Amino acid sequence: MKEGTAKKRSSSPAAESGAADVTHDRVEETPFEALAGICNVLVIGLFILTFLAQNFVIPSGSMENTLLVGDHLLVDRITLAPPTGWMPLVHYREPRRGDVVVFLKPVPDLDANGQPQYLFLVKRLIAIPGDHIHLRNGVVIINGVAQDEPHAQPTTPENYREYLDDFPSVPMTPDMGATEAWSVALPNLIQGADLVVPNGMYFMMGDNRHNSLDSRYWGFVPRANIVGRPLFNYWSFETPESEYERTGLTSNAAWLAHVALHFFTGTRWSRTLHVIR
């Protein structure tokens, strides 16, 4: 015990001297080096948000109750991307039936100035190239097999809509809201009672089947338009659907103030880190 105590005491001055030497030799970081470090972080963050993952917010109720207005999603942009040689270790795969996917709407909307505006949408992938699809009383039938879709809004006598629930057997009329190009192309893609999905195309529908503008209205989504797959909901805030239709600095500032004041009460905490399926 005495030897141990003596050794501790005799080593203290050396340790203190070493610490002093380290302190004396330390070099201060220059402003240029600090700026370079910040730039490295920004570049890495930009790379991740551009190529690997991206943030999306849900502005409408077309995917309820799978996704709610005000859900903020982290989207995987790699898994469903076309394979590349410069990232050989990444797992790639083709889109599958039942996937919830983010894609670029194939038909543009018009903004307030009448200019075409391509929007990102989130829907469920229902049919892949080569599939034969039709609906009977709201039930999706693919290649002759009725699909079990617990996530989809059921069809009832109260919400039944002939064109949507018995697609594509019911001819479109101008008041249905379908695009002109789809109205012309649709009859040529029907074989018997089925719509046949062409090569390189995908058929999308919202889970909120009676409140979703989807492939039944504007047609197929090309493979190149598929952006990625939502992974999880990292934050969800109670938001009226009309909020995302408002524009202007005043409206944005008012909404930011509302979020700041009601962050804890308006956040849907049970949906935090909710995995999307």
Let me know if residue 40 belongs to a domain. Answer: no
CA–CA separation, 273 and 277 (whole Å): 12
272 part of a folded domain: no
Look at residue 105 in the predicted model and tell me its pLDDT: 95
pLDDT below 50 — which residues of the chain? 1-20, 22-24, 41-52
Task: For the chain, list the strands marked E by DSSP.
Answer: 53-57, 71-76, 100-104, 109-110, 116-117, 120-127, 132-136, 139-142, 145-146, 190-191, 194-196, 201-205, 221-222, 226-236, 274-275
Would residue 146 count as lying in a domain? Answer: yes
Pick from 164, 170, 149: which is nearest to 217 by CA?
Answer: 164
Domain membership of residue 13 (yes or no) is: no
Q: Tell me if 102 sits within 8 A of 89, measured CB to CB.
A: no
- Residue 43 is predicted with a pLDDT of 47
Residue 36 domain-assigned (yes or no): no
Q: Which conformational region is residue 189 in: left (phi greater than 0), alpha (psi within -120 to 50 degrees), or beta?
A: alpha
Would 174 be classed as within a structural domain?
A: yes
Per-residue tokens: 179:
């695009």
Residue 248, domain CATH: 2.10.109.10
Assess if residue 11 is contained within a domain. no
For 69-178, where are the alpha helices, taking DSSP H only?
162-165
In this predicted structure, what is the pLDDT of residue 271? 94
Q: In this predicted structure, what is the pLDDT of residue 172?
A: 85
- How many whole angstroms separate alpha carbon 136 and alpha carbon 158? 16
Residues whose CB falls within 8 Å of the CB of residue 61, separated by 6 or more in sequence, listed in order: 68, 69, 208, 211, 241
Count of domains observed in the chain: 1
The pTM of this model reads 0.79
Q: What range does the domain containing 185 cover?
A: 46-264
Q: Model confidence over 261-271: pLDDT tens digits?
A: 999 999 999 99
Q: Is there a domain that residue 171 lies in?
A: yes
In Å, what is the CA distance from 205 to each residue of 101, 199, 212?
10, 18, 7
